[in-house]
Amino acid sequence: MENPVCRLLGTRYPLIQAGMIWCSGWELASAVSNAGGFGVIGSGSMNADILKIHIDKTRASTNSPFGINIHLLYSHAGEIMQLVMKENIPVVITSAGNPAGYTQKLRDKGIKVIHVVSSVRFAEKAEKAGVDAIVCEGFEAGGHNGIEETTSFALIPDVRRSVSLPLIAAGGIASGRGMLAAMALGADGAQIGTRFAASLESSAHINFKERILQLKEGDTRLYLRKVGPVRMIRNAFALELEAAENSGASAEELIRILGNGKPRKGIFEGKLEEGELEIGQIASLLNEIKPAAKIVEEIIKEYTEAKKNLADAKYSF
Amino acid sequence: MENPVCRLLGTRYPLIQAGMIWCSGWELASAVSNAGGFGVIGSGSMNADILKIHIDKTRASTNSPFGINIHLLYSHAGEIMQLVMKENIPVVITSAGNPAGYTQKLRDKGIKVIHVVSSVRFAEKAEKAGVDAIVCEGFEAGGHNGIEETTSFALIPDVRRSVSLPLIAAGGIASGRGMLAAMALGADGAQIGTRFAASLESSAHINFKERILQLKEGDTRLYLRKVGPVRMIRNAFALELEAAENSGASAEELIRILGNGKPRKGIFEGKLEEGELEIGQIASLLNEIKPAAKIVEEIIKEYTEAKKNLADAKYSF
């Protein structure tokens, strides 16, 4: 375990499956962990009771380490924090909000804390708050996104030189080549969402998974800049947001259009035009729904081959 | 010359200096070419008479190959095309517009044609038009930008699998690590703008160069989506655009705010609040104005070291 992310997580590969609303329950998390990656239950669509069921089922399905992702601004974040401390979950990945409030409490219980950021400023804040590692997430990532719109090419090296913690890159990575590029830019590991959202074990609706496979460049966009940016598929709902934004809609008006439960409707219920279909730009590369274990295997294989290929004469000058 | 970009251009390194309005005249182009990269005169701020002077001065300053960048929608594009054909410039890099109109004419004269695209769709069109190589430019790039907002992480592998021509990545690259990441994603070479905009030989105003060095993440943004997207520094002029866009301004209104000659004002005359300061996101990594030769040397050195570093145990699993 020479890799700092593997050492921190106790995994074979420095490859984290992103916690994703309505996609990443126990089936996906345990499948990724069993395959040598780090599976994550996304708690953003769960209350503590539901999460407890997912924790128990994950533990019954794998002996490998796994984590819980907690969106700090989520209404159930408080009860979920209580649960992960009681359950002694080895690793918690926090996103949004300020990690200072919970980090020390979690660490006092022996729980490792990884915080997701979209900027150098928040990476430095997280390091000061005492987290164990950083995920830096670029503009190309699906779902909630940073206001600075910094892409992975610019963000990874900037965060790398600013903090000394293990650094996991996210946003735009769905393949071994992507993982290698992240490492070249200074990351120690990769977090992958989009590709696992379209895996067999993802709890997303089959309609959503099949829609992901059809996406081409430009089919996802960043919306809701005035409220809190979100990348999603450009479906009927998104075009409604787009029209409103183009004509100068206020945050209040956008929140009204957003309404409630749109991600559930789209991702979990498969209503492809009404729902909010959060997914990353890199979806354009995907063309098949595969088991998570196969995805992990393919990514690591491609990573290793791509690294070997860089020894070719065409890359030396 | 095992590298296809080096073979095409006749250079030591597969490193192209981007043609940049008000930055890349004969001084920058010849300095880059003398250092083993591929220097490019950006003709976007020149008429044919001015360009002729730059061509003559470049030829007087280097025996190495160099190119001319031509923005196909630029009002002087026609006369500039006549000049490059008359002058037998070895390589022309075209951007914007449709390359089908000029490619065959240029190639009939023995001139190699590289076309800049921001999407797979235009890459495929350019290949059909018979160009010799493709530059794919991601969302993080400075200046004119694609409407799809695809970042380099997503764009490079998608273009790589769609065309078989030599592929040069642009957008977000300012260092050897960035160049290596682009190669890992499937590029054969890199085009670098921002870092050379802040070089000693850049013809930009010193105020602009010094402003580039101060930029942090989020200090550039994409504006003018309704007219034709442009990435620029978030100065007073950009904030005026931002306010107009946020309140739903039409394309006509934005064109009125844009007015005329704003890039010249900002980049060449150094009026940092009035002017349009086109630059890439990766500016956040820069901290010193250096000679172009030094920049080329540092990028290649870092590239080679970063490639060697990937042999470390921490990158093998």
Nearest Cβ partner of B185 from A181, A218, A226? A181
* Shortest distance, CA B8 to any CA of chain A (angstroms): 13
Contact A177 B184 (CB under 8 A): yes
| Closest-CA residue to B199 (of B20, B14, B44, B71) | B20
- Kindly report the CA angle at A281 between B15 and B135, in degrees rounded to 5? 25
Contacts of B151 (CB under 8 A, 6+ apart): A138, A139, A140, A151, A152, A153, A172, A281, B138, B139, B140, B171, B172
Contact B285 A154 (CB under 8 A): yes
Q: Which two tokens stand for residue A176?
A: 């071994």
Most B-contacting residue of A179, A217, A234 (CB-CB within 10 A), to test interface: A217
Chain A residues whose CB is inside 8 A of the B300 CB are 317
Which residue in A has a C-alpha nearest to residue B242's C-alpha? A248
Q: How confident is the model at residue B1 (pLDDT cuts 50, 70, 90)?
A: confident
The torsion angles phi and psi of B32, rounded to 5 degrees, stand at -65, -45
Contacts of A259 (CB under 8 A, 6+ apart): none
Chain B residues whose CB is inside 8 A of the A121 CB are 217
How much is the pLDDT for A1?
A: 75
Contact B151 A138 (CB under 8 A): yes
| Closest-CA residue to B172 (of B156, B159, B188, B148) | B156
Which residue in A has a C-alpha nearest to residue B225's C-alpha? A246
Chain B residues whose CB is inside 8 A of the A310 CB are 180, 183-184, 307, 310
Contact A153 B153 (CB under 8 A): yes
Enclosing H/E stretch for B115: strand B112-117
* Shortest distance, CA A157 to any CA of chain B (angstroms): 8
Chain B residues whose CB is inside 8 A of the A188 CB are 314
Nearest Cβ partner of B317 from A6, A120, A140? A6
Contact A246 B249 (CB under 8 A): no
Residues A317/B14, Cβ–Cβ less than 8 Å: yes
Mean pLDDT, all residues of chain B: 97
- Kindly report the CA angle at B64 between B59 and B70, in degrees rounded to 5? 65
Most A-contacting residue of B194, B217, B304 (CB-CB within 10 A), to test interface: B217
Average pLDDT of span B46-63: 98
3-class DSSP assignment, residue B283: helix
Chain A residues whose CB is inside 8 A of the B282 CB are 153-154
Q: Give dist(CA B77, CA B65) in Å, integer.
A: 22
Contact A281 B151 (CB under 8 A): yes
Contact B149 A186 (CB under 8 A): no
* Number of Cβ within a 10 Å radius of residue B109: 14
pLDDT higher than threshold 80 for residue B127: yes
- Give pLDDT tens digits for B145-157: 999 999 999 999 9
Q: Give dist(CA A215, CA A284) in Å, integer.
A: 5
Contact B157 A173 (CB under 8 A): no
* Shortest distance, CA A93 to any CA of chain B (angstroms): 22
Domains belonging to chain B, first-starting first, are 4-203+286-306 (3.20.20.70), 213-281 (no CATH)
Q: Give dist(CA B187, CA B5) in Å, integer.
A: 10
* Number of Cβ within a 10 Å radius of residue B53: 12
Amino acid letter for position B160:
R
Within 13 Å, how many C-alpha atoms sit on residue A20's CB side?
A: 35
Contact A153 B147 (CB under 8 A): no
Contact B181 A177 (CB under 8 A): no
Per-residue pLDDT 10s for chain A (317 aa) are 799 999 999 999 999 999 999 999 999 999 999 999 999 999 998 999 999 999 999 999 999 999 999 999 999 999 999 999 999 999 999 999 899 989 999 999 999 999 999 999 999 999 999 999 999 999 999 999 999 999 999 999 999 999 999 999 999 999 999 999 999 999 999 999 999 999 999 999 999 999 999 999 999 999 999 999 999 999 999 999 999 999 999 999 999 999 999 999 999 999 999 999 999 999 999 999 999 999 999 999 999 999 999 999 999 99
Q: Give dist(CA B16, CA A260) in Å, integer.
A: 49
Nearest Cβ partner of A217 from B154, B175, B217? B154
Which residue in B has a C-alpha nearest to residue A11's C-alpha? B317
Most B-contacting residue of A7, A15, A153 (CB-CB within 10 A), to test interface: A153
Which residue in B has a C-alpha nearest to residue A157's C-alpha? B285
Contact A315 B3 (CB under 8 A): yes
A-to-B residue pairs, Cβ atoms closer than 8 angstroms: 182
Residues B242/B231, Cβ–Cβ less than 8 Å: no
The region, left, alpha or beta by phi > 0 then psi within -120 to 50, assigned to residue B171 is left
Contact B151 A158 (CB under 8 A): no
**A54-90 residues labelled b (16+ CB within 10 A) or e (exposed):** bbebbeebbebbbbbbbbbebebbeebbebbbebebb
Chain A residues whose CB is inside 8 A of the B315 CB are 3, 183, 307
| Closest-CA residue to A152 (of A132, A173, A175) | A173
Share of chain B above pLDDT 70, in %: 100
Contact B172 A151 (CB under 8 A): yes
Residue B230 per-residue DSSP state: E
Chain B residues whose CB is inside 8 A of the A14 CB are 317
Nearest Cβ partner of A173 from B13, B153, B247? B153
Which residue in A has a C-alpha nearest to residue B246's C-alpha? A248
Chain A residues whose CB is inside 8 A of the B119 CB are 217-218
Contacts of range B209-215, beta carbons closer than 8 Å, 24 or more positions apart: B209/B289, B210/B289, B211/B272, B211/B277, B212/B279, B212/B283, B212/B286, B213/B283, B213/B286, B213/B287, B213/B288, B213/B289, B215/B279, B215/B283, B215/B284, B215/B286
| Closest-CA residue to A67 (of A103, A23, A18) | A18
Whether pTM > 0.90 for this model: the answer is yes
Amino acid letter for position B41:
I
Contact A222 B149 (CB under 8 A): yes
Contact B2 A313 (CB under 8 A): yes
The torsion angles phi and psi of B190, rounded to 5 degrees, stand at -130, 145
The torsion angles phi and psi of A92, rounded to 5 degrees, stand at -115, 135
* Shortest distance, CA A180 to any CA of chain B (angstroms): 6
